Amino acid sequence: AQSVTQLGSHVSVSEGALVLLRCNYSSSVPPYLFWYVQYPNQGLQLLLKYTTGATLVKGINGFEAEFKKSETSFHLTKPSAHMSDAAEYFCAVSTGGGADGLTFGKGTHLIIQP
Amino acid sequence: SAVISQKPSRDICQRGTSLTIQCQVDSQVTMMFWYRQQPGQSLTLIATANQGSEATYESGFVIDKFPISRPNLTFSTLTVSNMSPEDSSIYLCSVRGTADQPQHFGDGTRLSIL
């Protein structure tokens, strides 16, 4: 079975500052990893994914994440925060099996200070 | 990515009644899933909707409470039966192609039970 831990239920950064949202996973097989964003009263939007290949993956809206197998981590970063980045961010893992659903972390609420 | 439509978008229901939620996709997809997001919480997988056969339920979810249908590759329904206030949640449909592709989510159905 797999699991996801997101450190920090709330993260606050100033506009223009670096955004770092932490995600650690546990999986008995090589994982597929995802970051999703949820804006208020909306569904989930995919930010980026890692399946195989390059460990640094780039996503939408300037976000990127790096898969580090030795640290079992998949932290999300963005060099410069915008007010529009304020939202709930979820890290998720699957084992890549044919019928696999996603296991989600508890989410991190990102607050952008003006 | 596929366009996913969920109906209804929200509803307020009486205790003891049942509600059927529809998920329609604009193209054929291999996998369809149903998730629950309780207030202020993360997403939990309810079941995988299998085309032409019984759904595969996760631990803690049973068919009598959450019957699911998937008559074809573009449509699925989730019924929340004999509702109680504890069933007040957002219910989300997601779809996916092959195992290395990400899941895409509908906007969800916001359900409140009085």
**For A41, nearest residue in chain B (alpha carbons):** B107
Residue A61: per-residue pLDDT: 94
Q: Is A64:A58 a contact under the CB 8 Å cutoff?
A: yes
Query: CA B73 to CA A38: how far, in whole Å?
Result: 26
pLDDT of residue A96: 64
* pLDDT value for B32: 95
Put simply, the answer to whether A104 touches B42 (Cβ < 8 Å) is: yes
Measured CA to CA, the distance from residue B56 to residue B44 in angstroms comes to 14
B43, B48, B56 ranked by CB distance to A104: nearest = B43
Q: What is the DSSP string of B60-108?
A: T--TTTS-EEEEETTEEEEEE-S--GGG-EEEEEEEESSTTSPPEE---
Q: How far apart are CA B76 and CA A65, in angstroms?
A: 33
Q: Is the peptide bond before B8 cis (omega within 30 degrees of 0)?
A: yes
Task: Give me the residues of B, 8-67, that contact A with CB < 8 A.
Answer: 31, 33, 35, 41-45, 48, 56, 58
State residue B43's pLDDT score: 94
Looking at the complex, report in whole angstroms how far the Cα of residue A38 sits from the nearest Cα belonging to chain B: 10
- Tens digit of pLDDT per residue, chain A (114 long)? 789 999 999 999 999 999 999 999 998 888 899 999 999 888 899 999 998 888 999 999 999 999 999 999 999 999 999 999 999 999 999 876 656 889 999 999 999 999
| Strand A87-94 versus strand A32-38 pairing type | antiparallel
| Residue with the larger pLDDT of the pair B84 and A1 | B84
What single DSSP character describes residue A30? P
What residues in A contact B31, CB-CB < 8 Å? Answer: 99
Query: What is the reported pLDDT for B99?
Result: 76
Residue owning tokens 């019928």: A99
Q: Using the predicted structure, report yes or no on whether residue B25 has a pLDDT greater than 80.
A: yes
pLDDT at residue B37, rounded to an integer: 94
CA distance linking residue B54 with residue A22, whole number of Å: 37
Rounded Cα distance between B44 and B84, Å, is 18
Interface test with A, best of B42, B90, B105 (most A CBs within 10 A): B42
B82 Cα to chain A: minimum distance (Å): 25
Instruction: Give B61-69's long-range contacts (Cβ < 8 A, gap of 24+).
Output: B66/B34, B68/B34
Q: What is the pLDDT of residue A100?
A: 80
Min Cα distance B75 → chain A (Å) is 17
Task: Determine, for residues B42 and A102 on separate chains, whether the beta-carbon distance falls below 8 Å.
Answer: no
